[in-house]
Structure 1
Amino acid sequence: MTPAQPPLSESAAFVSGGGSGIGLACALRFAAEGAHVTVAGRGEDRLGAAVAELEAVAAPGAHVGYVVADVTDEEQVRAAVDRAASLGRPLRAVVASAGGNSTMGPITLVDTRKWRDTVDLNITGTMLVLKHSARHMVRAGGGAFVAISSLASSATHRWFGAYGVSKAGIDHLVRLAADELGPSGVRVHSIRPGLVRTDMVDMVTEGGPVLDDYLACTPLGRIGEPDDIAALAAFLVGPQSTWLTGQNINADGGHHLRRGPDYRPLLEPLFGPDALRGVVEE
């Protein structure tokens, strides 16, 4: 890379969950910084719209494209990552952003199947992207992998079910992989976003007492934007962070300094006050 070249102009990048939200913001940043970018997700319409956005910002010479893939399906992940690595540049920048939660509510009422689905999506899905992308990065002589974790991995979020638990698993996976892959020049991190303005949490960010509580717990006094997370991801995969690995980094406006949010105003009308403290009718 010369001073005039974009920092990722010699790299290929892969982003799971790249059709919207934080994943799309990361992909946009990587494309603008010169990478060949492949985004993956389950919705082809959303991915097609994402590629149109990527084409509008991509640096000259940067290729963008998408692959429909479910991160819980290993063969689909393998094929998607292989596609990203086949575009004439080494795969050196990977973000695992696909994730979600289907277990909001009291732990004594959690749906076990949905618990397993959430753990599979968040932990196993991240592991599969790491497993198959790290193979390419090792062969290429190095690279960087960033998993999107959550503030909920370290600060308890009552009634979040499997979400925080699975994000904590991602944080440990990152540290384990960083230790194993460091000798091959592969750096591995996670980012722990706080409340970020995405479709997944629009019931909070649109306003109300839960948003007020988030802001009261956030020293910087605002919610995050996807670009806030993308900026950190770009630093972690770029040439200025080559002596960093194994980090679980909070990007939350300082929210981790206080406490987890209070979702009682949203959940008490659904479950009742007794259920929120674990009471279950026989």
Structure 2
Amino acid sequence: METPTAAFADRSVLVTGGGSGIGLGIARALLADGAHVTICGRSADRLSTAAEKLTATDVFAAGGSVSTVAADVTDESDVERAVARAVETTGRLDGVVACAGGNETMAPVTQLDTAAWRRTVDLNITGTMLTIKHGARALVAAGGGSIVAISSIAASNTHRWFGAYGVSKSGVDHLVRLAADELGASRVRVNGIRPGLTRTDLVALITDGGPVLDDYMASTPLGRVGEVEDIAGLAKFLLGPESTWITGQVVNVDGGQMLRRGPDFSSMLEQVYGTDGLRGVMPR
């Protein structure tokens, strides 16, 4: 095989949450440009399946590689191990994508499950912090690099009844700016992406159609659902050589929805909590 000439040739990138959805899409885009990508997630089986899917495509034409490491981003020793595994690939780390996240709280604020709130905050904020903490150590040791954290439009626009999700993603946004300010002196850039509604298995209940999707489209100027490639394109740019003077930015990739409002989930949640429940009335 000829020596790769792609933009990410010989570069090593760690992608947390890389076993599916947006994380997997970012991994695929980086591989297509020659990167050596380590995908990280809690499920070894899911990671194995993801790696098989990537191997079955032509993304390795540019000379990259994919490896996997099962790790929970809320466990600091797991994160350290994942970073070390990514460094092993080439002897250094050049980029980090903090994509692992989720939400266990979707309820009126008066009925939020406190334990689920704490788990969501721990996953989204602490997990991102640990990924940046240990990823940045490796990037600094290598002389610099780039970190991209995946946030959400729920951080910039209120999403009623989303509980801890938007709140914790707002925390991710501030963490991006804080880390960018601190790490710039070591030539480490830190930026974030706020995806809007993006077609993945996790949101198929919405993207398959219905009143919630209709409301999303009514509040989205470009009038379509996002694709993982939309997010991956910006992530690759922020990790790559074209963005070396960009840091501390959090960019919405949402079809313009940030110009309007968050979605209306009342058609789904009224069935569970009732009209009064959605406005904070507790059941008797």
- TM-score bin (small chain): over 0.9
RMSD between aligned residues: 1.0
For 1:177, the equivalent position in structure 2 comes to 179
For 2:64, the equivalent position in structure 1 comes to 62
- Answer yes or no: is the 8 Å Cα contact 2:36–2:64 preserved in 1: yes
CA–CA distance in 1 between the matches of 2:245 and 2:174?
19
- Residue 64 of structure 1 and its aligned partner are, at CA, apart by 1.0
SS of 1:146's equivalent in the other structure is: strand
2:38 is aligned with 1:41: no
For 2:30, the equivalent position in structure 1 comes to 30
For 2:95, the equivalent position in structure 1 comes to 93
- Answer yes or no: is the 8 Å Cα contact 1:40–1:47 preserved in 2: yes
CA–CA distance in 2 between the matches of 1:257 and 1:60?
38
SS of 2:281's equivalent in the other structure is: coil
> Would you say how many aligned residue pairs link Structure 1 and Structure 2?
279
- For residues 112-261 of structure 1, the aligned pairs below 5 Å read 112-261=114-263
- Answer yes or no: is the 8 Å Cα contact 2:10–2:90 preserved in 1: no
**Where do 5+ consecutive residues of structure 2 fail to align?**
none
CA–CA distance in 1 between the matches of 2:48 and 2:224?
31
CA–CA distance in 1 between the matches of 2:62 and 2:173?
35
CA–CA distance in 2 between the matches of 1:164 and 1:264?
17
For 1:74, the equivalent position in structure 2 comes to 76
CA–CA distance in 1 between the matches of 2:150 and 2:33?
20
CA deviation string 1:94-113 (max 9, x = no partner):
11111100100100000000
Q: Which moved more, 1:50-59 or 1:179-188?
A: 50-59
- Answer yes or no: is the 8 Å Cα contact 1:26–1:233 preserved in 2: yes
For 2:16, the equivalent position in structure 1 comes to 16
**Where do 5+ consecutive residues of structure 1 fail to align?**
none
CA–CA distance in 1 between the matches of 2:54 and 2:132?
23
- Answer yes or no: is the 8 Å Cα contact 2:212–2:264 preserved in 1: yes
Letter in 1 for 2:23: G
CA–CA distance in 2 between the matches of 1:166 and 1:149?
9
Large movers: runs of 4+ above 6 Å: none
- Residue 63 of structure 1 and its aligned partner are, at CA, apart by 2.1
SS of 1:137's equivalent in the other structure is: helix
CA–CA distance in 1 between the matches of 2:208 and 2:47?
25
TM-score by length of 2: 0.96
CA–CA distance in 2 between the matches of 1:40 and 1:49?
12
CA deviation string 1:193-218 (max 9, x = no partner):
00000112111111000000000111
CA–CA distance in 2 between the matches of 1:233 and 1:202?
23
